[in-house]
Amino acid sequence: MPPAAAPVAAARRLLFFITNPAFLVSHRLPVALAARDAGYEVHVASMGGPAVAQLEALGFTHHALPLSRTSMRPWTEARSLWAIWRLFRRVRPDLVHTVTLKSVLYGGIAARLAGVPAYVAAISGLGYVFIPGAGLRGLLRRLALILYRLALGHPNSRVIFQNTADRGVLAQAGAVRPGQAVLLRGSGVDLDRYAPAPWPPEPVTVALAARLLRDKGVGEFIEAARLSAARGDGVRWRLAGSLDLENPASVQPEELQAWQADGVVEYVGECDDVAGFYAQAHIVTLPSYREGLPKSLIEAAACGRPVVTTDVPGCRDAIEPDVSGLLVPARDGRALADAIGRLAADAALRERMGAAGRALAERDFGLDGIVQAHLAVYRELLGR
């Protein structure tokens, strides 16, 4: 765990606003715990869910909000924004920290309207609408940029980016002011929990741990597995993750059943022990279309496993190309199969890249540094 921070002189009220409380547990819990230990009165506003009990047991005050991750109905969204504004007015936080797309957009607007003194927006990737495409996606992208300008206009705020590409998009759109942006490379990784394990026995095993979404490249993973099997590479392909049927990009249950019936991929379901999952693999992959800075890849680096990922924002930032891993084009299952085949055939290369990944994680992705950087942002905005 991060070292204890110096207590704040008088308890300041910090409110994390996030759509799904489980994401706070998986991606920002060390920051919330460090803030609590530094003397902040920590509140969490989100929709309901099993993670709420865990947050309350840790001493955080939870506020339930009528939120939907995927709704685009104007009346529903207006009701959500009204509820957020009312909550901010009632709780009167000194600082609101928002995480994920909808909470950043709605939370930023509500914080301005409610007169919240300080605001932090964490841009964990710009999301589905910023994956290149026209039609409805292009229209939604233009709408999102308008909302970003409104949400990030708080005069006493910081916007935390995980990669330079996302920062560039919002800066070019006029949504981020000079000096407002802070670059922090990901959510950090516990270097003790995610530590190199002995290499498992053959066959060479490649692992993908992700929500089962098309834009995570799950389809390309399946395509690559089929190509690999057809040419007799002898590689074992393992997939971990859950369906997310509320997401329009979700894999459908019948597709997953068909993949399992094919037998080219071993599906292990949702994984609560990612470090253990990676310990059973020789190679980790994430063929995503766009990310902030993927937690799965910095965890793979910490575990000393070489990575094959896509040359897109976020993914390319999580490795040192040709040093700790290999880059392939997005949406290209054949290129993915070729890169994994190259690593599968060269144990010495796997070992070199795995060691380089661990060194990268120790240098750039350690949890303590990321947590302390967040607390420094809070202190700067609150004038202490």
Per-residue model confidence as pLDDT tens digits over 26-44? 999 999 999 999 999 999 9
Hey, is 310 helix, strand or coil?
A: strand
Hey, is 14 helix, strand or coil?
A: strand
Hey, is 344 helix, strand or coil?
A: helix
Say which residue the tokens 């019948």 belong to.
Answer: 254
CA distance 128 to 298: 21
The DSSP symbol for 68 reads -
Per-residue model confidence as pLDDT tens digits over 328-381? 999 999 999 999 999 999 999 999 999 999 999 999 999 999 999 999 999 999
Whether pTM exceeds 0.75: yes
Say which residue the tokens 């980016």 belong to.
Answer: 161
DSSP line for 221-276: HHHHHHHHHHTT---EEEEE----TTSTTBPPHHHHHHHHHHTSSEEEES-S-HHH
Strand partners, 64: 46
Give the model's pLDDT for residue 6. 53
Domains of the chain and any CATH numbers: 13-188+366-382 (3.40.50.2000), 205-364 (3.40.50.2000)
Hey, is 65 helix, strand or coil?
A: coil
pLDDT above 90 coverage of the chain, percent: 84
Per-residue model confidence as pLDDT tens digits over 302-313? 999 999 999 999
DSSP line for 267-306: EEES-S-HHHHHHT-SEEEE--S--SS-HHHHHHHHTT--
Per-residue model confidence as pLDDT tens digits over 146-192? 999 999 999 999 999 999 999 999 999 999 998 999 999 888 999 99
